[in-house]
Structure 1
Amino acid sequence: MRVHLIPHLGQIPLDKLRTGHVRAMFTAIENRNEEIRTAKASTDPGVRATVAGVRPTGPSTRQRIRACLRKAINDALADELIVGSNPAALVKTPASRPLPVVWEDERVRRWGATGEVPGPVMVWTDTQIVRFLDYAAAHAPDLYPMWHYMAYRGPRRGEACGLRDSEVRLDRRETTINNQIATHGYTAVQKPPKSRAGTRDLMLDAETVKVLAAYRVRRAAWQLAAGSSWPDTGLFFVRPDGQPWHPNAVTQRFRRLVRKAGLPPIRLHDLRHGAATVALDAGVDIKVLAEQLGHSTTTLTRDTYQSVTKELGAVSPTVFPAILVSRFQRLGSGR
């Protein structure tokens, strides 16, 4: 609303809004995107500084802009504030979703020589995941358990940060996702998962159970040292002082550690993509995987991940723990 809709459409009376106005907004957004990309590629440090921290408005954000506007106009139509059709419904926005690409050896070599990253969504191989987690265990023990959980079970960042202590049942090898920490600007807020399908159970493999059990012991030592100053957040993953993790801080620490580990870059969210592609390669049913990821339908899961399962299989055919595959299949059969 603040960055896009009000600046571009805020001066137009609601009953005067037309499809052309909406199209003009998206044209202006794309023109601004090109300006940002050009400035970032400039050889002039002063020009690059003008767009420091500024990102182009990607396809997903443009879809959300359109969805927000469409919903607002539909509400106005329902309340009979205006009559006619919804101009936002007649405008199409880019719907392409970048597919995950595996960091195969040749891609890693080229990245090392040129710094070139093949795509916006990259997936580590099982060997690279293990390298990172081993490095994290030694250099970031406070966040290593969360990253392990994300790498092998695939929750979203906010879901991992907001995982409730009462929903971690290691004796039953399961966790329940029913809370997340999201950010509004930089303000962190707790709220339910992003959709009804987001509330779900995640089964755990034996190794993840060990990692989370060891973390619970470590957290108890932190609490003992803090004494009465330890806050009662009700969360499972917390900072050494007991406070909740801010999702942005988790991302920043992840980026720094990836660089220090000398690994090819991925986003924190790509740990989720890696967990999904590895699960499919291990033979987990697409419907079961969609439920575990919190997708409302299997279409998103299939379209996003199945294109890389063959590629991933050629790189890492035995990564997924057999016990986890078994539990996936048991969940799918309703047992």
Structure 2
Amino acid sequence: MKNGTITRRCRCTDPETGKDLGASCPKLQSRRHGTYGVFQELDPAQDGRRRRFRRGGFETSAKAKEELDKVRALMAIPEEDDAWGRTQISDLLENCVKDKSPLPDYDETRRRFQTGQALNSKVTVGEWLDAWLAGRKRLRRGGAARYECDIRIHLKPHLGHLRLDKLRVHHIDTMFDAINERNIEIQEQNAQRRAVANELKATPNKGAENRARRKWLRAQLEAMPPFRRITGLNTQPHIRDTLRAALNVAIAQQVMPAFNPAAHVELLPGTKPKALIWTDERIARWEETGEKPSPVMVWTPEQAGTFLDFVAQDRLYMLWRIIAFRGTRRGEACGVRWEDHSAKARSLAIATQLVQDGWDVHEGAPKTDSGFRLIALDDETNNGLLAHKARQQREREEWGEGWQDTGRIFTQEDGSLLHPGKVSDLFERLTEAAGLPPIRLHDLRHVAATLMLAAGVDIKVVSETLGHSDTRITRDIYQSVLDDLARDAAEKVVQLVPHARRPLAAVPDDEPKSKTAPRRPRMVPPRKGDASPQDRSA
């Protein structure tokens, strides 16, 4: 390494030529005149170009020497025979000259150099998240869409401007604090909109005063933000996990320090919604407030029967029946093919599904490996599928050349694929028309689980039928249902033993007191023929 030099110069010019006097200025003999600068020869660039580190404007030679010492300390980080490392340090110093930026911290630069990280990286969190997501080649569309949503809605707006290597835990904590504050604002605005909407619904059209009131209420609704969903406590861990996964790759590729701040972020505890049954009390409360007791609600067997009776003539009746009794997912029911149905074996193979990506629909594999499964069918469902096939054949003949042969069991009238989103919308309309309390189409799958559990089906069979990878998942989701069944079982056990439910009688101890402490009355039922205490004392 060549020695650097400290220079001194001023801006004085020759009055005759107008050129800078430079080091020949006579006033430089005074220490207060001019400024000091540093000069250090750097390693040549990869193309052989000569490079120098120059920086001026120091008021004293001591400050200039301090800057030069920092430059030389940085250049001494690589070994003398490490040509590549020396080039990297020289690149770093050259960029400092071009950007007029301060010298990097010695300890940080040394650590990054020793761990093989890029020294000149100025990648932002947003740029890295985009690059990371683009490099995930094995993601399913649904997973990619979920990651993209986390990045676009939350991570980039809050963290995207930060340099990747400068990201810290407190930055991420601040993001989640902002999300929770935004949730409170959304909930308040939703409550205000719901109150106005309920008043509008309750205000009759009859009468000029009522019509004026309704007009004013509609204007209020138009001025309010639409109903929005909050980013709940159960969603926030997924946002954190998305960031953590992206940062893990950055660490593996030595783009950032070997510390993942997302792994050290603590979130407010969230609980998975439990499946609750629509009891009479819950229905009354829902009718009064319009709020569901839980995001996951389940019909009773009687309510499920009412729905199936109501949709008995619907062309998708067998789809509703299969979900209600066998618990298939929406995409699985929409995507099942005739080749997956064995009438002889009375079974239905789940080997594919229709996935909704935005509003586009495409075919995909089941959600998990355990999603590939064989579902047993009862006789009525098996025969119902054969009748449905005959009906579909008639539709095919009516459409003629316009029929689209997709091979699916459940299709639109022209044979084209069902849209899962439209199926959910239809289910919601049918539920309301049937006069039943609301559940989601996915909750009809929970109805199937409840029916199987109530029928005494083993939890492992229920788990396999639903396509869960572990019975613990089934128990966790339906724990409240299992508790209800356990209470019912306890009642049935007691009812098996016939006995008269008479109150227990307290029999006092008439023996004389002894030196020991008196005994407490023994609680025993009276025996037939025993005299009462009053009779014995007579």
Q: Normalised by the size of structure 2, how large is the TM-score?
A: 0.55
Q: 1:230 to 1:37 in 2, by over 3 A?
A: same
Per the alignment, residue 145 of structure 1 pairs with 318
Whether the 8 Å CA contact 1:142–1:240 is kept in 2: the answer is no
Q: State the superposition RMSD in angstroms.
A: 2.3
Whether the 8 Å CA contact 2:190–2:227 is kept in 1: the answer is no
Deviation string, structure 1 residues 178-199 (Cα, Å, up to 9, x no partner)? 2121222212222111221221
Per the alignment, residue 154 of structure 1 pairs with 327
**1:245 partner SS:** coil
1:243 is aligned to 2:386? no
Whether the 8 Å CA contact 1:281–1:310 is kept in 2: the answer is no
Within 5 A, what are the aligned runs for 1:283-302? Answer: 283-302=456-475
Shift of 1:253: 0.7
Q: Which is further off, 88-97 or 165-174?
A: 88-97
1:62 is aligned to 2:212? no
Q: Which is further off, 306-315 or 230-239?
A: 306-315
Per the alignment, residue 274 of structure 2 pairs with 99
1:4 is aligned to 2:143? no
Q: 1:313 to 1:174 in 2, by over 3 A?
A: farther
Per the alignment, residue 331 of structure 1 pairs with none
Match of 1:123 among 289, 298, 319: 298
Q: Which is further off, 45-54 or 145-154?
A: 45-54
| 1:198 maps to amino acid | G
Match of 2:338 among 165, 172, 178: 165
CA distance in 1, matches of 2:249, 2:479: 37
Q: Which is further off, 201-210 or 37-46?
A: 37-46
1:18 is aligned to 2:143? no
Shift of 1:58: 2.8
Shift of 1:117: 2.5
CA distance in 2, matches of 1:308, 1:244: 35
Shift of 1:100: 0.7
Q: 1:119 to 1:166 in 2, by over 3 A?
A: same
Shift of 1:249: 0.4
CA distance in 2, matches of 1:48, 1:70: 40
CA distance in 2, matches of 1:9, 1:296: 35
Whether the 8 Å CA contact 1:280–1:306 is kept in 2: the answer is no
Within 5 A, what are the aligned runs for 1:74-113? Answer: 74-93=248-267, 94-113=269-288
Identity of paired residues, percent? Answer: 46
Deviation string, structure 1 residues 56-114 (Cα, Å, up to 9, x no partner)? 12334323222222222222222222232222222244441010111122322343444
CA distance in 2, matches of 1:312, 1:102: 12
Q: 1:204 to 1:48 in 2, by over 3 A?
A: farther
Q: 1:268 to 1:214 in 2, by over 3 A?
A: same
Whether the 8 Å CA contact 1:102–1:312 is kept in 2: the answer is no
CA distance in 2, matches of 1:215, 1:134: 17
Would you say how many aligned residue pairs link Structure 1 and Structure 2? Answer: 314
**1:172 partner SS:** coil
Deviation string, structure 1 residues 17-55 (Cα, Å, up to 9, x no partner)? 222222222222222222221111114564676442521
Match of 1:134 among 295, 309, 314: 309
1:31 is aligned to 2:181? yes
Shift of 1:314: 7.4
Per the alignment, residue 203 of structure 2 pairs with none
Q: 1:185 to 1:178 in 2, by over 3 A?
A: same
Per the alignment, residue 352 of structure 2 pairs with 179
**2:478 partner SS:** helix
Higher RCO (C-alpha 8 Å, min separation 6): 1
Shift of 1:284: 2.1
**1:269 partner SS:** helix
Shift of 1:310: 4.0
Whether the 8 Å CA contact 2:324–2:447 is kept in 1: the answer is yes
Deviation string, structure 1 residues 166-221 (Cα, Å, up to 9, x no partner)? 11222211111121212222122221112212211111122221222221111111
CA distance in 2, matches of 1:95, 1:298: 21
Higher helix share: 1
| 1:296 maps to amino acid | S
Q: 1:279 to 1:92 in 2, by over 3 A?
A: farther
| 1:118 maps to amino acid | P
CA distance in 2, matches of 1:278, 1:190: 30
Shift of 1:277: 2.0
Structure showing greater Rg: 2
Q: 1:150 to 1:92 in 2, by over 3 A?
A: farther
Deviation string, structure 1 residues 243-262 (Cα, Å, up to 9, x no partner)? 11111101111111111111
**2:375 partner SS:** strand
Within 5 A, what are the aligned runs for 1:170-209? Answer: 170-209=343-382
Match of 1:214 among 361, 364, 387: 387
Deviation string, structure 1 residues 141-162 (Cα, Å, up to 9, x no partner)? 1222111111111111111112
Q: Which is further off, 94-103 or 15-24?
A: 15-24
Per the alignment, residue 262 of structure 1 pairs with 435
